[in-house]
Amino acid sequence: MSTDQAGTPNNYLKAIRLINIEENKCAFEIGKIPIRQHINANYFFAQTDVSTLEKIPHPAPRRQYVITLKGKLRFTVSNGDTFIIEPGIVLIANDTAGEGHTWEIVGGNEWERIYIPLEDNTNDYFMAD
């Protein structure tokens, strides 16, 4: 279990959620998800390839958790705002329509990640800060 700066137990993981907003544009929210929360998912898969969608605008192919194991990335949403994803921050991809987002690797050339697709209508347990 992780602890905060004061040494007290932290019952949450840092998370950033990609979302669709008006006119199918993409934005993001910063927040957290509770640890030890069961998620309704039937499978997961790992990926290391970075050549296919880097720097190309795209929506998420499905609602899913993206767990970064190795690498540091800058994501950019429709209005140009950016955020960094690295190990320890869970990405929740809910921007399944419209323009989507772009990403690029910063500080290296690898991105190892696990995708956990969420079943339809499953709660993603995200809590905005």
Q: Residue 124: what are its φ and ψ, rounded to 5°?
A: -95, -5
Q: What pLDDT, on the 0 to 100 scale, is given for residue 9?
A: 57
Distance CA 15, CA 68 (A): 11
> Would you say residue 20 has pLDDT above 90?
yes
Interval 50-75: pLDDT, tens: 777 788 899 999 999 999 999 999 99
> Would you say residue 10 has pLDDT above 90?
no
From the candidate CATH numbers 1.10.3470.10, 3.40.50.720, 2.60.40.1120, 2.60.120.10, the one assigned to the domain spanning 12-35+42-128: 2.60.120.10
Find how far residue 26's CA is from the centre of its chain.
Answer: 13
Domain boundary assignment for the chain: 12-35+42-128
Within 8 A by CB and 6+ apart from 12, the residues are 32, 33, 34, 35, 127
Q: Report the candidate in 21, 62, 28, 59 with the shortest Cα–Cα distance to residue 45.
A: 62
**Tokens representing 65?**
């958790």
Find how far residue 98's CA is from the centre of its chain.
Answer: 17
Element holding 31 (H helix, E strand):
strand 25-34
Q: What pLDDT, on the 0 to 100 scale, is given for residue 16?
A: 98
Q: What pLDDT, on the 0 to 100 scale, is given for residue 7?
A: 46
* In contact, 32 and 12? CB cutoff 8 Å: yes
For strands 127-128 and 25-34, give the pairing. Answer: antiparallel
